[in-house]
């Protein structure tokens, strides 16, 4: 996913020379005290090529001036606070194109089972030691005490020495239920106590859209649950989470996003309960940033009757549309492909290519529901067969209901084919891609999931851009940490954990990658007139970095530091 090429000559590939922006004519009368940011690189993200300003003025949470320092001095003499960037770089705050901010709070509240560099679980034994130690750790005790469940998040069979099973988790506890969530969020493993609580036995059938894995040569469950089986287990085991715990989790999730420079966060598959909790937090003034939610259309479309379903934020929260999930995870080998997996999971036939969540009729019905109600629709489709299912249903719905500026979003699109990109454009589908996969699971995709040819084309950002489409890049936290800089680095470099380039022809330059995290992300959310660039009248959402990402070697992008995050003119994170 990353490549070890030092291409200083490509730092501004396709971007031209930076220009100095001046909007001095837009200076309004000064009616209140203002903050003038100056003394560093200020990237406006306003043009097709990089543009810099010398000063940005903020009044009452909005930008009132962008231009030269001299003009700002004249207009605001004696009426402003000067904030010296001291050579650091300021640009618009990062806008979360797709993730699950509420679930990130869960990730922060349970045992961290991620492999390096985000955790320490490289083997099953290391993972078990972390789980055994969790009840002793103060940060995990509230969750365990209130739910009565030991949970770990982030096991990754692409990095572990073997696949964990219930017998392994029985070593953690034979009294409490234990559940560990796969890094994709689409699978889990439970211990014997949990299997008993869930009434999962040899006689239990697979639920529609899910799989209960079995021991070799037997119908006895081995503890691994896929897709709907996993989600049902998770819902039952987490039923004792009270409001206080949920509120604490939500706050921890927001704080983590702020530390990575995000000023808008997404809850990309909200339940009715999580919507109610976020509304409550909003009304209490507890939101650090704007939070935009997309309830699950299958189970929680009733949330669309909320007064928070609106184009504008209320107390920094709004519901923007609905989410539909059509398949699973490529790294978990549950995504629905048109051709078999390179190495099929143990126990599967060689023709195994994953599976859909719904048949075509049901998938089409949900898409028709969204279009008939004029709801913006986010569609999770990782496998190319799932993408075909989505596109076929969209064609029918668009012909029936019209397709004017709906901004239907393809979420992930990992195995998007070249011929499908043409269909995306014809149907005005906005691709939100996941190039961070090239770092975390690039080697796994090449060696086990897809094989080299298909793996090189995952998250094809360059091909999408060459087709004339905007795109966004996301992290899908808690699948990975919500690291904006890892997103940026992976989108530009596409280098795997082992240092191999995965699809060199799909790399884009740093400015394009930043557009995908700022103004194009605002466009995806119908917020391009108030967010994503530094312009007069826009919300004062900024991130301050220690260096200019357009003026360093691409391979050093992940070494950048978030110095400060500012949301609506207020600092919500600052490096100590």
333 and 229 in one domain? Answer: no
Global confidence as pTM: 0.87
Calculate mean pLDDT across residues 64-93. Answer: 95
Report the distance separating Cα 33 and Cα 478, nearest Å. 40
Task: Annotate 94-155 with three-state secondary structure.
Answer: EECCCCEHHHHHHHHHCEECCCCCCCCCCCHHHHHHHHHHHHHCCCCHHHHHHHCCEEEEEE
Query: Does residue 302 sit within a domain?
Result: no
Last residue of a domain, one of 237, 252, 279: 237
Which neighbouring-strand residues pair with 19?
51
Q: Which of 481, 509, 537 represents a domain boundary (last residue)?
A: 509
Residues 365 and 496 in one domain: yes
User: Tell me, what DSSP letter sits at residue 456?
Assistant: T
Half-sphere exposure of 509 (CA within 13 A, CB side): 19
pLDDT at 436: 95
In a domain, 479, yes or no: yes
CATH of the domain at 407: 3.20.20.140
DSSP assignments along 481-509, one per residue: ---HHHHHHHHHH-B-TTS-BS-GGG---
Say whether 194 sits in a helix, a strand or coil.
helix
Q: How confident is the model at residue 3 (pLDDT cuts 50, 70, 90)?
A: very low
Do 202 and 347 fall within a single domain?
no
Q: Is residue 559 part of a domain?
A: no
CATH number at residue 175: 3.10.310.70
> Is 85 domain-assigned?
no
Say whether both 459 and 357 belong to one domain. Answer: yes
- Shared-domain flag, residues 327 and 204: no
Q: How far is CA 436 from the centre of its chain?
A: 10
Q: Tokens representing 1? A: 């996913």
Instruction: State whether 325 and 218 are in the same domain.
Output: no
User: pLDDT class for 13, splitting at 50, 70, 90?
Assistant: very low
Residue 334 shares a structural domain with residue 473: yes
- Residues 474 and 372 reside in one and the same domain: yes
Q: How does DSSP assign 52-73, residue by residue?
A: EEEEEEEETTEEEEEE-HHHHH
- 569 located within any domain: no
**Domain extent at residue 496:** 321-509
Number of independent structural domains in the chain: 2
Does residue 218 sit in the same domain as residue 366?
Answer: no
Summarize pLDDT for 221-239 with one digit per residue, the tens.
999 999 999 989 988 888 8
- Please determine, for residue 5, whether its predicted confidence score (pLDDT) is greater than 80: no
| pLDDT at residue 17, rounded to an integer | 34
Mean pLDDT (whole number) for 521-550: 98
461 and 325 within one domain: yes
Give 167's contacts (C-beta < 8 A, 6+ positions apart).
192, 223
Does residue 359 share a domain with residue 494?
Answer: yes
Instruction: Give the alpha-carbon dihedral of 310, 314, 320, 323, to 10 degrees.
Output: -130
């Amino acid at each position: 996913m990353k490549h070890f090429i030092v291409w200083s000559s490509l730092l501004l590939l396709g971007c031209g020379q930076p220009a100095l922006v001046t909007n001095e004519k837009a200076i309004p009368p000064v009616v209140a005290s203002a903050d003038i940011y100056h003394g560093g690189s200020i990237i406006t993200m306003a043009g097709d090529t990089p543009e810099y300003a010398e000063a940005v003025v903020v009044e009452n949470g909005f930008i009132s001036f962008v231009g030269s320092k001299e003009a700002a001095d004249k207009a605001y003499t004696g009426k402003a606070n000067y904030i010296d960037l001291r050579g650091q770089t300021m640009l618009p705050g990062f806008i979360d194109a797709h993730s699950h901010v509420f679930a990130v709070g869960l990730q922060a509240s349970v045992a961290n089972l991620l492999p390096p560099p985000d955790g320490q679980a490289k083997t099953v034994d290391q993972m078990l030691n972390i789980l055994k130690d969790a009840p002793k750790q103060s940060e995990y005790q509230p969750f365990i005490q209130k739910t009565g469940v030991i949970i770990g998040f982030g096991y990754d069979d692409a990095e572990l020495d073997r696949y964990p099973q219930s017998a392994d988790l029985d070593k953690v506890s034979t009294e409490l239920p234990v559940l560990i969530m796969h890094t994709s969020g689409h699978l889990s493993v439970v211990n014997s106590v949990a299997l008993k609580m869930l009434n999962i036995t040899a006689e239990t059938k697979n639920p529609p859209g899910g799989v209960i894995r079995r021991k070799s040569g037997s119908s006895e469950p081995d503890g691994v649950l896929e897709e709907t089986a996993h989600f049902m287990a998770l819902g039952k085991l987490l039923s004792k989470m009270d409001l206080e715990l949920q509120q604490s989790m939500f706050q921890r999730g927001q704080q983590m996003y702020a530390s990575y420079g995000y000023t808008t966060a997404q809850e990309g598959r909200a339940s009715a309960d999580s919507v109610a909790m976020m509304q409550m937090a909003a009304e209490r003034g507890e939101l650090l940033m704007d939070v935009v939610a997309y309830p699950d259309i299958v189970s929680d479309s009733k949330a669309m009757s909320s007064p928070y379903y609106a184009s504008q934020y209320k107390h920094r929260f709004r519901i923007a549309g609905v989410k539909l999930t059509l398949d699973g995870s490529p790294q978990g080998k549950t995504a629905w492909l048109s051709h078999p997996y390179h190495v099929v999971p143990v126990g599967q036939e060689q023709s195994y290519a994953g599976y859909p969540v719904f048949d075509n009729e049901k998938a089409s019905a949900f898409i028709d529901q969204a279009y008939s109600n004029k709801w913006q629709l986010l569609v999770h489709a990782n496998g190319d067969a799932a993408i075909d299912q989505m596109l076929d249903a969209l064609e029918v719905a668009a012909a029936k209901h019209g397709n004017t500026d709906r901004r239907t979003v393809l979420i992930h699109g990992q195995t998007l084919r070249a011929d499908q990109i043409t269909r995306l454009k014809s149907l005005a589908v906005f691709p939100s891609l996941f190039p961070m996969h090239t770092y975390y699971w690039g080697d796994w995709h090449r060696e086990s999931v897809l094989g080299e040819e298909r793996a090189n084309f995952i998250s094809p950002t360059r091909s999408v851009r060459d087709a004339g489409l905007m795109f966004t890049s996301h992290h899908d936290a808690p699948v990975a940490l919500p690291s904006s800089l890892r997103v940026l680095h992976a989108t530009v470099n596409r280098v795997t954990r082992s240092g191999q380039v995965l699809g060199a022809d799909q790399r884009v330059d740093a400015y394009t990658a930043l557009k995908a995290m700022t103004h194009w992300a605002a466009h995806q959310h119908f917020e391009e007139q108030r967010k994503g660039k530094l312009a007069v009248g826009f919300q004062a959402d900024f991130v301050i970095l220690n260096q200019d990402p357009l003026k360093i070697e691409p391979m050093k992008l992940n070494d950048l530091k978030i110095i400060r995050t500012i949301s609506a003119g207020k600092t919500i994170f600052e490096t100590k």
